[in-house]
Amino acid sequence: MSRALEKTASFRESLRRVPDANGHFGAYGGRFVAETLMGPVEALRLAYAQCRRDADFQTELQRDLRDFVGRPSPLYLAERLTGECRGARIYLKREDLDHTGAHKINNALGQALLAKRMHKTRLIAETGAGQHGVATATVAARFGFECVVYMGEEDMRRQAINVYRMKLLGAKVVPVTSGSRTLKDALNEAMRDWVANVDSTFYVIGTVAGPHPYPMMVRDFHACIGEETRRQALSAEGRLPDALVACVGGGSNAIGLFHAFLDDDVKLYGVEAGGEGLASGKHAASLSAGRSGVLHGNRTYLLEDAAGQIRETHSISAGLDYPGVGPEHAWLKDIGRVTYDTVTDTQALQAFHALTRKEGIMPALESAHALAYAMQLAPRMQPEQFLVVNLSGRGDKDIDTVARHEGIEL
C-alpha cells in the first residue's frame, strides 16, 4: 500500500469524495479547454449539479434504467469457467445484457435526460468501438433528439455493423479522417462541433475523460454497476468480493464497478490493452506505459512521444484503442488503490473463446481483456474466495474481427 493511501486510510477519509470543485482528482483532471468551451462546460457543470440533487431527475433516470435499459443486470456465477481455472469463484457482472449490449447506455441515458433539462435539441458523440455511438443514437431515438456521431474512418471499417445500427436508429455517422482516424480524433472532431453549435447541442462524452464535470458525471451514471454488484454479492455470498476486475480504455466501466468499493477491503484490478506487448510499442496502455500530460480537456496519463505529441495506439479492441485514460484512474494508480496491468490481443482472444465455449457467453473483446486477467488471477487465489469481472459488453460486434484474426472470410 502506498504512503498516500495509508495516510488517507488512517484519517478514514473517503476515496469517493473526489473530484474537488474544479474537477481535480489529485494532480489530474481539471478543465483544459479553450476559452470558447469554458462557458458551455461551466453551464453543464451547473446543470448537472442541479440534476444530481433533483429528486424528479433521479426518479426519471431510475425508471428508465429499469424499464428501458433492463437494470439491474445479473451477477452470474461462471461455474464451468471457475472449474477450468481451479481457484477463486468467478462471477460476471452482466453489463452485456444491458439494452444495446454494453454498459455505455447507462451514461448515454443520464446525459440525454440532462440534455432534455437543458433544452438542447441535438446530441453529438464520439465513438471508438461504436458501442457509445449506438447507445447515444438509441437514447436520441428514445427522446427525439437529432443525433450526430463522430467515428474514426479506421474504426468505421472495423465496426461496420455498429455503423449500420446507428444509421438505423436515425443518427448521422460522420467519418473522421484526421490524425490516426480513431477514437482520439473523433473526440477532437466532436469538440469542434460542440464549440460551433453550443446553443443547440449537447456533447455526450462516452467515457470518464474530458473537462470537468464529464469524468465525475460519467462515473456517477455508471456507479449503479458497482452499487448493484455490492448488493448482489452480499446476497449471493454474504460478503463483499475479494477482488474486482475490469478493462480500462477510457475507464468508464471500471470506474462504474470500482466506485462503490473504493473504501472497502476489496482488491481492484484495471486491465489495459497490451496489444502486441508493451515492448512492441503497439499497445494502448497509457497507465502502464505512459506519463502525465494534457489532452482532451484533462490532465491524465498519456501515450506520447518525447516532444509531447500524442502517439498512435493499437489494440485488437477498438473500444480500448485510446492514448489517454480517465483522470480518476490516473489518481487511483498514483495512490496505489487500484492495480493496473495489461493483457495482450492474443490473451484477450483466448479469453473470448474460453467464455464462449465454457459458458455460452460471447464477450466483447474489451471485456475479454478483463476476463483474461481474471483467469490468471483466480488460480492464484483460494477456492473460498470470489472475484467479480465486469463483462462490460457482448461480443456480437466483434465477430468480424475475431474471424479475420483467424483467417476466416465471412
Partner 1 sequence: MSRLAPRFAELRRAGRAALVPYITAGDPDKSASVPLMHALVKAGADVLELGVPFSDPMADGPVIQRACVRALKHGTTLADVLGMVREFRRTDARTPVVLMGYLNPVEAFGTEAFTVAAAEAGVDGVLSVDMPPEEAVPLAGLLRARGIDPVFLLAPTTDAARLQRICETAAGFVYYVALKGVTGAANLDVAEVRRRLEVVRRATRLPVGVGFGVRDAHSAAQLASVADAVVVGSAIVDRVEEFGHRRAELLTQVGAFVSELRQAMDAARV
Q: Which residues are catalytic?
A: 104, 126, 392
User: Which of 87/215 has CB closer to partner 1?
Assistant: 215
Long-range interactions of 275-280: CB distance < 8 A, separation 24+: 275/313, 275/314, 275/315, 275/316, 275/344, 275/345, 276/314, 276/344, 276/345, 277/344, 278/342
Smallest distance from partner 1 to CB 201, Å: 11
Question: Whole-number minimum distance, CB 195 to partner 1, in Å?
Answer: 6
Residue burial 231-250, b: 16+ Cβ < 10 Å; e: rest = ebbeeebeebbbbbbbbbbb
Do 341 and 312 form a contact (C-beta atoms < 8 A)? Answer: no
Of 188, 339, 346, 385, the one binding partner 1 by CB under 8 A: 188
Per-residue contact flags (x/-) with partner 1 for residues 303 to 342, judged by CB under 8 A: -x-xxxxx--------------------------------
The reply on whether position 302 binds partner 1 by CB under 8 A is: yes
Nearest to 25 by CA among 260, 334, 295, 313: 334
Q: How far is the CB of 382 from partner 1 (least distance, A)?
A: 45
Residue from 170, 175, 179, 281 touching partner 1 (CB under 8 A): that is 179
Q: Which is nearer to partner 1, 40 or 101 (CB)?
A: 40
Q: Between 191 and 223, whose beta carbon lies closer to partner 1?
A: 191
- Work out the number of other CB atoms within 10 angstroms of the CB of residue 396: 13
* Nearest approach, Cβ of residue 215 and partner 1 (Å): 15
Burial of 48 (C-beta count, 10 Å sphere; 0-12/13-18/19+) = buried
Q: How far apart are CA 229 and CA 243, in angstroms?
A: 12
Per this entry, what is the length of the chain? 410
CB of 175 to partner 1, least distance (A): 14
For the sheet with 297-302, list strands across it: 24-25, 28-32, 297-302, 291-295
CB of 27 to partner 1, least distance (A): 12
What is the smallest separation between the CB atom of 212 and partner 1, expressed in angstroms?
10
CB-based contact 244:388 (threshold 8 Å): yes
Q: What whole-number distance in Å separates Cα of residue 229 and Cα of residue 268?
A: 14
Q: Which is nearer to partner 1, 174 or 198 (CB)?
A: 198
Q: Which of residues 10-69 bind partner 1 (CB under 8 A)?
A: 22, 30-36, 38-40
Binding of residue 198 to partner 1 (CB under 8 A) = yes
| CA gap 323, 199 in Å, rounded | 30
Cβ nearer to partner 1, comparing 242 with 312: 312
List C-alpha distances in Å: 246 to 229, 350, 405. Answer: 13, 17, 24
- Tell me the C-alpha to C-alpha distance, in Å, between residue 18 and each of 84, 257, 372: 39, 16, 30
Site string for partner 1, 259-298 (x = CB under 8 A): ---------------------------------xxxxxx-
Point out which residues bind partner 1 (CB under 8 A). Answer: 22, 30-36, 38-40, 178-179, 184-185, 188, 191-192, 195-199, 292-297, 302, 304, 306-310
